Amino acid sequence: MDFRIADTFTDSLARLTGDEQKAVKTTAFDLQMNPANPGMSFHKIDHSKDKNFWSVRAGSDIRLIVHKTSGGLLLCYADHHDKAYAWAERRRLETHPKTGAAQMVELRETVKEILVPKYVEAPVPTPVKKSRSEPLFAGFSDDELLGFGVPTGWLNDVRSATEETLLGLTEYLPSEAAEALLELATGGKPRAAETTAAPANPFDHPDAQRRFRIMANVDELMQALEYPWDKWTVFLHPEQRQMVERDYRGPARVAGSAGTGKTIVALHRAVHLAKDNPDSRVLLTTFSDTLASALHTKLKRLVGSQPQLADRIDVASLDTIAQRLHRSLVGPAKLISSEELKTAMLAASQSATGHKFSLRFLLSEWDQVVDAWQLTTWDGYRDVARLGRKTRLPESQRKLLWSIMELVRANIAARGAVTAATLFTSTAVAIGKAKNPPFDFAVVDEAQDIGVPHLRFLSSFVRREDALFFAGDLGQRIFQTPFSWKALGVDVRGRSRTLRVNYRTSHQIRTQADRLLAGEMTDVDGNKEDRRETVSVFNGPAPTIRTFETQPEESKHVGGWIRDRIADGLAPHEIAVFVRSTEQLVRAEAALREAKIDFKTLDERVDVSSGRAALCTMHLAKGLEFRAVAVMACDDEVVPLQARIESVGDTGDLQEVYDTERHLLYVACTRARDHLLITSTEPASEFLDDLRGK
C-alpha cells in the first residue's frame, strides 16, 4: 500500500498551533506505520462527493482528512473538526480526463460566488488589449482548456473569466491550470500539460508529483512535515523543469524576481547534471557561506535518500572552495586584511604628491578596477574599461593613480600576502593547467552578486559547453558593481530565461515591492530581465506602510501587529523583523518584547529556531522566507544609509549606491509570503513614497 502526502496537507498543518501540529504529526506517523490500525478513529465523511474521504481523530477537535483506497492512503488536510469536514465535502480526488494527472479538485457546484477580494488594487500587468470586464478565454475550446489541466467542472468559469476575476479564480484551480491561465493572460504561450496514457498511475504524472509525494519511510515523512513551506524544493513547475533538463550549447542563466524559484531551479539543475553524468563532479555554489549552508540543507532534503548522488555534489561558497583548491593546487596563502590594505593605501597616498584623491576613492579604485581585473601594468590599467566607475579621468591623473597602486602592490608583496582576488586568479590559472578540472560542472545561485574574480575562477572549470549554469536576479544585486560577463568569455545571450510565476509572495506584496525597481532591467552585456509580466499564484492582504513621530510609538505598533499575526494562527517562527543595519536592532528588539514572544537575533549562520521569531539585518535576510515580515526603521538617512552615501569616493558612483540600497529594501520586503508591514519614524525614507506609488 502506497502512503502519500499532499501539499494541501502540509499547507493546512502550517496554520495550526504548535500543540495541534504535534498531535497531527503523531497521528500521521501512526497511520504510516499501520494504516489499518484498528485503534485509529476512522469516520466516513457522509456528505463528501468522494466516497474515499475519511476523517481520523488527532485530539479532541483536530481531524485529519485522508483519502483511503485498497491501493494506498493519502494525507489530504488537517484542521478543526467542522473546518476539516467542510473542506472534504467541497473536494474530490480526480484523474484529469486529458492529461491523466491526479488532481484535488474543488467542486464547482459548492462554490456560490468567486470574487477577487477588495484589497486587490493593482491589476496584473498585461499586454492583452482587452477591457478589464471582457472575458479573457472566450475563444478557447474545451479541448484547449483541458490541455492546460483545467478540470472539467471549471471550464465554463474559466471561459468567462475577466482580468478582474482571474486572480481570484485561479485560487480554486490546480497549479498547472492556474499557471497556464496567468501566463496566457500576460501574453505568454504556456505549454500544454503532458498527457499520460490511461493505464498509467495518475500520481506518477509530473504535475501530480508537484502536489502528491510518496513517503517511503518515517524519515521522509518527518522531513516533509518539518518543512511545510519548502515544498517547492521538491516540486517543479513545467517551465522550471524545462530549464533544468535542457541541453545548453554554452553557459546558461535563469533569472526572475524574488519568489519565482530560481534557487529551486539551481538545486534541481545540480542534481540533474549529477544524474545524467554518473562520473562527474558538480559544484553548487554561491557568494556567501550563509547562503551555501542554506543550499546544503535544501539539497539534503532533495536527495537525502540518494547519498551516492549527494556525494558527487559539492556545496560551498565561492570563497571556501577557492581557498580549498588553492591549498591543494598552489599552496597555502595569507590573505591581506582590510585594515592592512587600508594602511598600505594610506602610506602610498601620502608618498605620492600632486593629487587630491581621498582614501575612500583610492580604496574603491583598487577594489573595483585594479584588484578586480588583476591589473599589473600601466598599459593594462590605461586600457581597461571602467564599467563600474562613472568618473572619467584624464591620462595624467590615471598615471598618478597607477603610481599609487604600484606602491600598494609592492606593500602587499612585502607582507607575503595576497588579496582574495589574487587568490581566485592564481587558483583559476592552476585549474586551467591541470589535466582534469576539480569539477565538471558549476551551478551558481545568487549569481547577480558574484564579481570579476569569481567569474574568472568559475570559467577555469570549463571543459564542455554546458559546464556553467547561473541563477540570479538583477533586482537583488546588493554587493557587486556591474561588469561585462562577455568580456570574460561567459556569454549567456540566447541562453538566458526569465521565470514569470511567483510562488512565494502574494500578488499584493509582489506588486508593491516591484515599485522599487524598473519594470525591465538590463545587464552590461544587454541581457534583459522583464519583470512586468511576473504573476503571483495567490492573493493576500495589502502591505501596510506606517510612519510614526517617535521610535517607541513605532515599536509599540509593530509589537501589536505581531500579536495580531499570532492571533491569526501564525507560529512565532513564521514571523520575522528586519532592519537596515545593527544600529537599528534595538528598535526591533523593543517591538518583539512588546509582542511578548520569544525571538532570536540571527547571525551569519542564519539558524532559524522553531517557536521563535527571527530578527536580523536586511543583508542576512537574503534567501529566507516567512509568512509575516515587519521591515522597521526605514527612516531618512537609514534607507538609503547615509554612511554609505558619505563613503562614496567617486561622486559618479552615487547612483550605484542608491540602486543597491533600493535592491536591499526590495530583498527585505519580498521575504514575506502573506503579510508585510513597513515602518519608519519622521522623516521617512524617500523610498517609501515609491512603495506608496507617489
pLDDT, one tens digit per residue, over 170-205 is 888 998 898 888 878 877 777 666 665 555 789 988
Amino acid symbol at 652: G
Whether the predicted pLDDT of 231 surpasses 70: no
Q: Do 96 and 196 contact (CB within 8 A), yes or no? A: no
Question: Residue 36: which pLDDT band, with cuts at 50, 70 and 90?
Answer: low
Average pLDDT over residues 119-127: 42
Q: Could you please report the per-residue DSSP string of 520-589? A: EEE-TT--EEE-TT-EESS--PPPEEEEESSHHHHHHHHHHHHHHHHHTT--GGGEEEEESSGGGHHHHH
Angle at 406 between CA 403 and CA 407, to 5 degrees: 90
Contacts of 668 by beta carbon, 8 Å cutoff, 6+ apart: 578, 618, 621, 629, 631
Q: Do 619 and 288 contact (CB within 8 A), yes or no? A: no
Q: What are phi and psi of 339, to 5 degrees?
A: -70, -40
Per DSSP, what are the bridge partners of residue 412? none
- Distance of CA 226 to CAs 11, 223, 669, Å? 12, 5, 25
- Give the global pTM: 0.78
- Distance, CA of 453 to CA of 372 (rounded, Å): 6
Question: Residue 125: which pLDDT band, with cuts at 50, 70 and 90?
Answer: very low
- Distance of CA 283 to CAs 255, 447, 471, 489, Å? 19, 14, 14, 20
Q: Do 469 and 253 contact (CB within 8 A), yes or no? A: yes
- Distance, CA of 683 to CA of 670 (rounded, Å): 24
pLDDT reported for residue 113: 46
In the DSSP assignment, the letter for residue 106 is E
Whether the predicted pLDDT of 37 surpasses 80: no
Cell of 519: 519594470
- Distance, CA of 630 to CA of 679 (rounded, Å): 8
Rg (C-alpha) for the chain, rounded Å, is 27
State how beta strands 528-530 and 520-522 pair: antiparallel
In the DSSP assignment, the letter for residue 367 is I
Per DSSP, what are the bridge partners of residue 104? 93
Amino acid symbol at 547: T
What is the tens place of the pLDDT at every residue in 136-167? 999 999 999 999 999 999 999 999 999 888 88
